[in-house]
Amino acid sequence: MVPDDSGAPLAQNVELYESILNEIRLPLTQVLNDALSAHQAGGRVPLLRLEAWLDNSSTENRQNEAGRVTLATIELASTPARDGSTDIMEEDTSRDCDCSEEETRALDSVSNDDFCQPDARPVKRRKMVGCLRLARSAPITRAVSPEKEPSCRRLTSDARHFPKRNPPKNLRKPEISPFERLIIGIWEQIHGHFEMKPSDLVDLCTQINQLRAAVSNGALQQGVLPSFIPGKGAFQGMNHYCRQITQASRCSRSLEVIVQARWIQCYDEHVQKMAAEDPDLSLTKARMIALAEASKDFGWSSKELRNKMAIWRGYEIIRDAGGWPCLVFAGMGLYRFCKYKLGFSPTNMTALKRLRTRFEVAADTIHPEWRQLLSVIGEPTTRVYKGHPCDWVVSRNGPPVPLADTYSQWTSDFSFEHLQECVIDEQAWGPMDPRAENNHNTHQTLPRRLLCERCGSPQSNDPGINECHCFPGMFGSGPRKPYPVQVFRTENGRNNGLLACCPFERGVAVGEFVGLVTRGLRDIDVMQSFGPAGIYQIWQGRQGNYTRFINHSCQPNSQYERFMWLGVQRIVLVSKGISAGEEITVDYSNEYWNHLNKDCLCGESGCRFKRRSNGA
């Protein structure tokens, strides 16, 4: 294969390319047909040899073998495998030395090492199934030489390896028990878009009273929105008003459950007090007396009150084990759980006790005003945990500790800024974003209609216009909600890790890898990728989000993927199928571990980096 007379590369000469393709296609088709016929007839299958070489000889002297550099040779033969199928045999020949020293060095840059990643496992022999398959992946362009590479994490961008959302048909989803469904519902309510603001309940009551007064006095005409409902039109104003009502009714429901659980406490205390004051009065008789008194005050029959009490007592049992957040953020699933007694086993209640402080950390940091609801029953309303949800590290048996305390053994002035979006290092990149496609022209603006590379739909930050739903919880759906994850203290010396509070189905986003977009860092843990402006790095040492705390595993349950949103490259962590309560892990890759002199502590049976420091 040689360049044309004009010196244009072969890939750019379409006419020559088509000519060579036609010269190869017909003979190759005939040879394969003959081989297939011989195989079916039981005869001897001829050997098919495919060779690729570079020829730097002139056009007039193509017969001269000098200057020819053989790159590789692939032989296809009918060799029986263990199962009787046909395998593909590969044979890489050594390069001829009929080229200059400069050409040899140039060819070394496209050596066989470039046809596979440094962390690739030995190539497995594949069965012949009626088509030719590439034995190795496509060439990978190295950004820097291996001795200069930092300890970068793996970035998977091959669409074939993307976790599909639809699982195989023969794969059954694990059944979730009613107790697990209750716990997941609590986490979802805490991390959802619902805003727990008790002050809104008081303000709404005042506004409703004003509305009633205006209607009764004739000051408000029919079909006219109240003055306290903002909005450009009737629909927008009604949206705001309905949202206020919904938020207030949710607070009212939480307030109702809190009071009913406390009533059970008062009822039990009253029964114990009557039995203590009258030794001849049994507990059963005392309960009957207290029940009669309460039925009279409520205006209900004894049977109706007993049915209510059975549900309310379930509230109190859950409150005693998991704390007040379990009642405030449980949602409507709490009523069904307590009515039908679906999971009040000692094992479940023990598990709920272990989650108590974790619920409080999430509730205090995401909904700072939620404890104001406890004022109606005389409970303290002071927040215990302040700051960002990831400023606290939870554990299985101990109390939550500040994030900075977990790094005190390495530094005394640890600080971490939690980000929603990446920050560009202006010292490294100036005013431009190396991830953006329009950096080559500073005067160019993003087009109004950008299509997603994955689904082909228009992208927009406006939910009313956006049609791309690849990662709806992260892009194109309005403000991001807090993801149901928590930083936790590992028990095997890996310091901190990331815990999934709710399940993440296969193919959904766990979060975006956010940090300082820079370049040129060495001997430090970074995410390295190649964007329109070249190689860039994302460092999470002092700025970032919860993806900073994800540990390595040789059998991970998530992976990093490259995703273009509005012309800017994003690194998204995608789930491979993560269960609630499971640690979120990724594969840091061989490139990361090759630059570190420490052991891998993932604990997997197939760990690839165990006892590295001992030479194993």
Distances (CA, A) of 355 to 39, 186, 250, 350: 65, 11, 23, 9
Q: How far apart are CA 532 and CA 444, in angstroms?
A: 14
Strand partners, 424: 517
Is 571 part of a structural domain of the chain?
A: yes
Task: Indicate whether this model's pTM tops 0.85.
Answer: no
427 and 570 part of one domain: yes
Least confident span in 57-66, 206-215, 231-240, 493-502? 57-66
303 and 421 part of one domain: no
Q: Is 177 in contact with 217 (CB distance < 8 Å)?
A: no
Q: Is 451 in contact with 459 (CB distance < 8 Å)?
A: yes
What CATH number does the domain containing 566 carry?
Answer: 2.170.270.10
201 and 311 part of one domain: yes
pLDDT of amino acid 129: 32
Q: Is 538 in contact with 515 (CB distance < 8 Å)?
A: yes
pLDDT band at 381 (very low <50, low <70, confident <90, very high): very high
Is 495 part of a structural domain of the chain?
A: yes
Q: How far apart are CA 544 and CA 84, in angstroms?
A: 54
347 and 424 part of one domain: no
185 and 333 part of one domain: yes
Q: What's the domain count of the chain?
A: 2
- pLDDT(134) > 50: no
pLDDT tens readout for residues 89-128 = 333 433 344 444 444 444 344 333 443 343 444 444 333 3
CA dihedral 376→378→382→383, nearest 10 degrees, is -70
- pLDDT(331) > 90: no
Q: Which residue type occupies 173?
A: K
434 and 337 part of one domain: no
pLDDT of amino acid 1: 43
Q: How many helices (H) and strands (E) does the chain have?
A: 13, 20
Least confident span in 237-251, 331-345, 405-419, 530-544? 237-251
Strand partners, 531: 534
Q: What would the two tokens of residue 148 be?
A: 């200069």
Is 613 part of a structural domain of the chain?
A: no
Identify the domain containing residue 341 by its residue range. 178-205+242-379
- Strands 516-518 vs 527-531: parallel, antiparallel or unpaired: unpaired
- pLDDT(87) > 50: no
CA angle 363, 516, 558 (to 5 degrees): 60
Q: Which long-range contacts (CB under 8 A, 24 or more apart) does 95-100 make?
A: 95/69, 95/70, 95/71, 96/68, 96/69, 96/70, 98/65, 98/66, 98/67, 98/68, 98/69, 99/56, 99/67, 99/69
Count how many residues are written for the chain: 616
pLDDT of amino acid 294: 95
Q: Per-residue pLDDT averaged across 470-487, rounded? A: 91
pLDDT of amino acid 299: 94
Is 119 part of a structural domain of the chain?
A: no
269 and 375 part of one domain: yes
Is 25 part of a structural domain of the chain?
A: no
CA-closest candidate to residue 205, choices 232, 171, 228, 181: 228
**Number of other residues whose CB lies within 10 A of the CB of residue 502:** 19
pLDDT band at 251 (very low <50, low <70, confident <90, very high): confident
- pLDDT(35) > 60: yes
427 and 336 part of one domain: no
Is 120 part of a structural domain of the chain?
A: no
Is 492 part of a structural domain of the chain?
A: yes
Is 18 part of a structural domain of the chain?
A: no
Distances (CA, A) of 479 to 36, 145, 368, 461, 547: 60, 41, 19, 9, 19
Which value, in Å, is the radius of gyration of the alpha carbons in the chain?
Answer: 34
Q: How far apart are CA 339 and CA 427, in angstroms?
A: 62
- pLDDT(143) > 70: no
End-to-end CA distance of the chain: 45
pLDDT of amino acid 491: 85
293 and 416 part of one domain: no
Q: How far apart are CA 515 and CA 549, in angstroms?
A: 12
Give the side-chain half-sphere CA count within 13 A for 229.
20
CA angle 165, 166, 167 (to 5 degrees): 110
pLDDT band at 17 (very low <50, low <70, confident <90, very high): low
Most confidently modeled range among 201-205, 246-250, 324-328, 332-336: 324-328
421 and 530 part of one domain: yes
User: For 436, which DSSP code?
Assistant: B
pLDDT of amino acid 15: 61
pLDDT of amino acid 173: 66
501 and 435 part of one domain: yes
pLDDT tens readout for residues 155-213 = 654 455 667 666 555 656 678 899 999 999 999 999 987 777 777 666 666 666 666 66
Q: How far apart are CA 468 and CA 470, in angstroms?
A: 6
371 and 265 part of one domain: yes
